[in-house]
Every structure is written in C-alpha cells, then in structure tokens.
Amino acid sequence: MKVGKIIKNYVLSIVMASFCINKINVLIKPSKGTLFLLGGLIVLLLASCDQKKLGRNNMSSKEMQMLITLDTLMEACWNKKEIAKLELVMTEDVSRRVNNIIVAHNRKEVAANIAVFISGFPDLTITLSNLHLSDNYAFYNWTFSGTNTGIFGEFPATGKKVKVNGISKIIFNEEGIIVQEDVSYNELDLLQQLGYSLNPPNFD
C-alpha cells in the first residue's frame, strides 16, 4: 500500500464531488444551500472509504502528517533511493533498531544503513500492508524485494532475487516526524535466499 495514495484520494474526492454538483445543477437546478449540502455529503462519503482502511473515521492533521512522513520514507528514501530526503522525515537524533539491536544512533547513521541495502539491491522495492496508526505510533507489515547485483555489506553480489517480509514500529514526535524506528525480520531467511547456509559447529 502506498500511503500517498490515501492523500491523493482526498483531492480526487473533491474533484469528483465538484463534477457531481455540476451535473445535479444542470439537471434539477437546486438552491445554493442544497448544492453546498450535497457537495459536503459527497466529499465525506468518498473520503471515508480510505479513512476506513486505516480504521479511522476522523483523521487528525497529525495523523495526516504521519502518513505523509511514511510515504516520503518509503517511496522517496527507499524506493526512489533519495536518501537525502531523510532530513524531511527524521529528527537528527533518530534511532533505528533492527531485531532489537541498535544499528543507528542518528540520521546520518540511518542513511548509511539504508545505503547498504541500496548498494546490495539497486532495484529494491518496499511495499506496506496492514498499516495502523495509534497516538504517536505507526505499526505495519512490509515486503522487501530486489536483486542482489551489488555489494551487500561484506557480501559480494550473487545475482539472486530475494523477497523478505517484516514488521515495523515507528514513533513520531508531535510534528509527525520520526524519532525512533524498530524493524523486525528474519535475517537468516534473507541470507539463505542469497545462497548462504548456517552450518552446525564441528565438535570433533
């Protein structure tokens, strides 16, 4: 799911409402007050469809900003590889944990961490699902896919395609900017897809 699609649909709902109002005006020529009421009802009806996908009937301005932040993080920073845009979505002292291990203590280190994956998988894409917002938190599932055609950390390119699922929890400040990111996924699964194996120790 692209969170930016939800925001775009709000704009589309307004355009569609305007179209419907023009048609109604031509056909039955109602009063201005009736047109205003009908327009409001159409916008609410169309917009509520996407709001319900998040389990929210009323979305606050902070929640909208949280969605915009997530969309920039995933679509721009990860999928379009525009790492510099991290400064738009993360605080300077943001922290990032992967499988409960801190891998970044600030925004610069987060950028370096993301760069490792972009180097190893230049065609990588990340898609979100089951997004849920609660107070200053976002929880979601994600799917990472790509082809290992570059150096991935200390591992050489294998040319193999991978697909890994994981879950994330993000904490935002009051401005809707990320202050902490917690990521969980099966690292062994990723390495096995690249052709590596976990051998038991030899006690002989």
pLDDT at 124: 98
pLDDT at 5: 55
Beta bridge partners of 165: 143
pLDDT at 198: 80
Question: Which residue bears the tokens 């970044």?
Answer: 104
Q: With contact defined as beta carbons under 8 Å apart, do 172 and 69 qualify?
A: yes
Q: Which residues of the chain have pLDDT under 50?
A: 10-11, 13-15, 17, 21, 24, 26, 35-36, 41, 43-53, 55-56
The packing angle between helices 3-28 and 61-71, to 10°, is 120
How far is it, in rounded angstroms, from Cα 117 to Cα 78? 9
User: Which amino acid is residue 41, in one-letter code?
Assistant: L
How far is it, in rounded angstroms, from Cα 159 to Cα 55? 40
pLDDT at 25: 52
How far is it, in rounded angstroms, from Cα 19 to Cα 178? 38
The contacts of residue 14 (CB under 8 Å, 6+ apart) are 43
pLDDT at 2: 54
pLDDT at 172: 98
How far is it, in rounded angstroms, from Cα 123 to Cα 66? 26
pLDDT at 16: 54
pLDDT at 31: 55
Within the chain, all domains assigned CATH 3.10.450.50 are found at 61-193
Q: Which residues of 36-50 are buried (b: 16+ CB within 10 A; e: fewer)?
A: eebbeebbeebbeeb
Architecture of domain 61-193: Roll (3.10)
How far is it, in rounded angstroms, from Cα 137 to Cα 173? 9
Residue 100: φ, ψ to 5°: 70, 20
